[in-house]
Amino acid sequence: MAKKHSGGHKGGSGKSSKAMKYLIKADLKVNGNVQRKDIIGAIMGQTEGLLGDDLELRKLQRTARIGHVDVEVKSSGGKVNGEILIPSSMDNVETAIIASSLETIDRIGPCAAKIVVTEIQDVRSTKVNAVIDRAKDLLLEMVNSGDAATKTVIEEVRSVLTVGTAKSYHGLTCGPNIETSDSLIIVEGRNDVRNMLNFGIKNAISCDGAGTIKQELIDLAKSKGNVILAIDGDRGGEMLFRQLNEIMKIDFVAQAPVGQEWELLPQKTATKCLSQKVETAKFAAKLPEDAPSEGSEAWLEEGAEEAPAEVHEYFDHIADLKANNAVFVNVDGTISDAVGPSKLAAAAEEADGAVAIVFNGAVSDRILDIASEAAIETVVGTKEGKGFATRDGVKAWLTEKHA
């Protein structure tokens, strides 16, 4: 089975803030050889206008009512078989309509095709069943080990006092001292903040993981004399660092031991990690470079490809931009106002009709994700940036290779 392709942002942390309720599953049969991008294009293109503006797939993705279209395919004997997966946060009626619209697709490119919806899975029901099963296992472990009765009276009282001091700052869980303290500790999730509170650390704030970072958090960090990013000891923590380091002030990085998370660290380990914090530049320098994916190698082989005429026109806009600023090119050829890197994701979400992002700087994996989520097919920049890797549906053109 070939690798799964995502029609939007990788991994689930994207800009979507809506919990997915259903998962549409459909079987695909194509009488001919087609690529994943052809299948995605057929799904987006052939359903466009079929159900009206309210149920247009690209707009539903931009508002996070429909998630990323995933396709798994395998080819044999000149034919392609596969499965299409589409998550939905809409109600069951709207989800069923979207699912049924897939079955109207009878051609992909020049090839005859047939799509049959096999199931609309209730994601919440599946999660509830998993929670119940896991809770039963955990309860049995507690009873068998006797750990359920080990908490002391002091620990019980302390947990009430510390957890109760958690506050909210523009929707982000935080300690009570984040505004008054000159030092700020940024962590990934709300449970990390609560674990810090258990140790008496009251100037931590959650960024709610990777995805769209709130401008209020960026502004808060800018106002502090000392900002520490506390990340988990895994690749996810390093990915969070790469993202935040591009858009906000970070002075030091404190990483949990390999394979461990801040929400589960004991006080002694957490205190040691904070005391051994590393300057941001030094931490970035020792990070391993991402290994190139199959897709990025293929793109590099195409590095000498001649850019079309409209892309050369886009290159001209770069000279008019400040470093790390961007503009959107609309379908009618007009150009938007310039936006800074911290506002790029929000601007892309609102940029209906945009066909290209022109960015005066290195094109990172994050910028390609923003374009993919907003269904913007062209990105123009100066060179490859952090984590650069191609994805279907977005084409990157770089001045150092194509100008």
DSSP state of 234: S
> HSE on the CB side for 274, CA within 13 Å?
21
Residues 297-313: what's their mean pLDDT? 59
Which tokens belong to 194?
């609560």
Residues 381-388: what's their mean pLDDT? 86
| CB neighbourhood size of 200 (10 A) | 11
Position 211 scores a pLDDT of 62
Residues 25-49: what's their mean pLDDT? 86
CATH number among 3.30.70.60, 3.90.76.10, 3.30.1360.170, 3.50.50.60, domain 5-124 = 3.30.70.60
Position 302 scores a pLDDT of 43
* Residue 1 reports pLDDT greater than 50: no
Average pLDDT of every residue of the chain: 81
Q: How far is residue 16 from each of residues 3, 19, 169, 183, 278, measured CA to CA in Å?
A: 23, 8, 20, 30, 32
Angle at alpha carbon of residue 84, lines to 55 and 397, rounded to 5°? 80
Percent of the chain with pLDDT over 70: 84
pLDDT digits (tens, 9 = 90+) for 330-378: 877 788 999 998 899 889 888 887 889 999 988 988 899 888 888 888 9
Structural contact between residues 16 and 68, judged by C-beta atoms closer than 8 angstroms? no
Residue with tokens 């910028």: 367
206 forms beta bridges with 187
pLDDT digits (tens, 9 = 90+) for 145-172: 544 444 445 444 454 444 457 888 988 8
CATH architecture, range 294-402: 3-Layer(aba) Sandwich (3.40)
Q: How do 226-231 and 252-255 pair as beta strands?
A: parallel
pLDDT digits (tens, 9 = 90+) for 172-204: 889 988 998 889 999 988 889 988 888 888 899
Which is more confidently placed, 56 or 137?
56
Position 56 scores a pLDDT of 83
Give the SS3 label for residue 265: coil
For the entire predicted model, the pTM comes to 0.37
Position 137 scores a pLDDT of 73
Structural contact between residues 48 and 109, judged by C-beta atoms closer than 8 angstroms? no
Which is more confidently placed, 287 or 296?
287
Which tokens belong to 218?
């960026």
Position 150 scores a pLDDT of 47
Q: What ranges do the domains of the chain cover? A: 5-124, 170-286, 294-402
Position 52 scores a pLDDT of 81
* Residue 222 reports pLDDT greater than 50: yes
Residues 279-283: what's their mean pLDDT? 92
Which is more confidently placed, 296 or 179?
179
pLDDT digits (tens, 9 = 90+) for 108-133: 888 888 999 999 988 888 787 788 87
Q: How do 183-187 and 395-398 pair as beta strands?
A: unpaired
CATH architecture, range 170-286: 3-Layer(aba) Sandwich (3.40)
- Strand order in 79-88's β-sheet? 5-6, 70-76, 79-88, 22-30, 111-122, 107-108
Position 17 scores a pLDDT of 46
φ and ψ of 46, to 5 deg: -80, -15
Residues 6-22: what's their mean pLDDT? 53
Q: How confident is the model at residue 10 (pLDDT cuts 50, 70, 90)?
A: very low
Largest CA distance in the chain: 73
Position 210 scores a pLDDT of 56
Q: How confident is the model at residue 140 (pLDDT cuts 50, 70, 90)?
A: low
Q: Which residues contact 202 (CB under 8 A, 6 or more apart)?
A: 165, 175, 176, 177, 178, 181, 196
Q: How confident is the model at residue 33 (pLDDT cuts 50, 70, 90)?
A: confident
Angle between helices 365-373 and 235-247 (to 10 degrees): 80
* Residue 24 reports pLDDT greater than 80: yes
Give dist(CA 387, CA 368) in Å, integer: 10
Residues 22-41: what's their mean pLDDT? 88
DSSP state of 4: P
Q: How far is residue 204 from each of residues 147, 171, 200, 273, measured CA to CA in Å?
A: 29, 14, 10, 14
Q: How confident is the model at residue 223 (pLDDT cuts 50, 70, 90)?
A: very high
Q: How confident is the model at residue 290 (pLDDT cuts 50, 70, 90)?
A: low
Which tokens belong to 284?
């970035």
Position 9 scores a pLDDT of 42
Give dist(CA 190, CA 188) in Å, integer: 7
